[in-house]
Amino acid sequence: MLADYGLRAMVAADLPMLAGWLATPELVRWWGDPAEQLALVTEDLDNPLMDQRIALRGGEAFGYLQSYPAEAWPAPHLADFPYGTVAVDCFVGPTALRGRGHGSAMLRLYADALLAQGAAAVVIDPDPDNERAVRAYRRAGFRDVALRPDGDGEMTLVMRYSPLSSV
């Protein structure tokens, strides 16, 4: 199944596609203001600490992933992970493709690649109320670590990738 999927570096030409995805109601709910998020993603294109990827299935773009060293930003909820831990954020863009296993597949592919590149651990921190995302992350091989407040005091579900337990 993972052979159908791929990842490529995000480029500036992807920004209009991301703008459309970020404007969908589900992504507005969990990611916030689309214009603000697009500005952050655009700014991150020039940040050497950020790795931004577009997920592909059959050559067609369907998802966005970004990762960064967990120690590079204030993240008290990730402080007990070893140096070299990589934090990931992601979403499936097209509404019609959500809830079909594509998010789990792209995330598993990305997490495996990050570990192969030397990441000490791969973590993700969804809002615990985002049940769809939490289920997808568990299917990808992420396991619950703890509910913890993030740097803004918002509760997050800290999860760590465990490839041996992936389905």
Kindly state the average pLDDT of the residues 111-124: 96
In this predicted structure, the answer to whether residue 36 has a pLDDT above a threshold of 80 is yes
The reported pLDDT for the residue numbered 40 is: 92
More confident: 115 or 1 = 115
DSSP letter string, 139-164 = HHTEEEEEEEE-TTS-EEEEEEE-GG
The reported pLDDT for the residue numbered 113 is: 95
The reported pLDDT for the residue numbered 146 is: 96
Looking at the 3D structure of the chain, how many domains does it have? 1
User: Which tokens sit at 158?
Assistant: 């800290």
Distance CA 133, CA 139 (A): 10
The reported pLDDT for the residue numbered 167 is: 47
Kindly state the average pLDDT of the residues 6-35: 94
With 0-12 CB in 10 A as exposed, 13-18 as middle and 19+ as buried, what is 127?
Answer: middle
Answer yes or no: are the C-beta atoms of 165 and 143 closer than 8 Å: yes
pLDDT-based confidence at 166, cuts 50/70/90?
Answer: very low
Determine the structural domain holding residue 6 and report its residue range.
Answer: 2-165
The reported pLDDT for the residue numbered 128 is: 95
CATH code, domain carrying 137: 3.40.630.30
Kindly state the average pLDDT of the residues 11-33: 94
In this predicted structure, the answer to whether residue 120 has a pLDDT above a threshold of 80 is yes
pLDDT digits (tens, 9 = 90+) for 65-112: 999 999 998 899 999 999 999 999 999 887 766 777 788 899 999 999
pLDDT digits (tens, 9 = 90+) for 128-164: 999 999 999 999 999 999 999 998 899 999 999 998 6
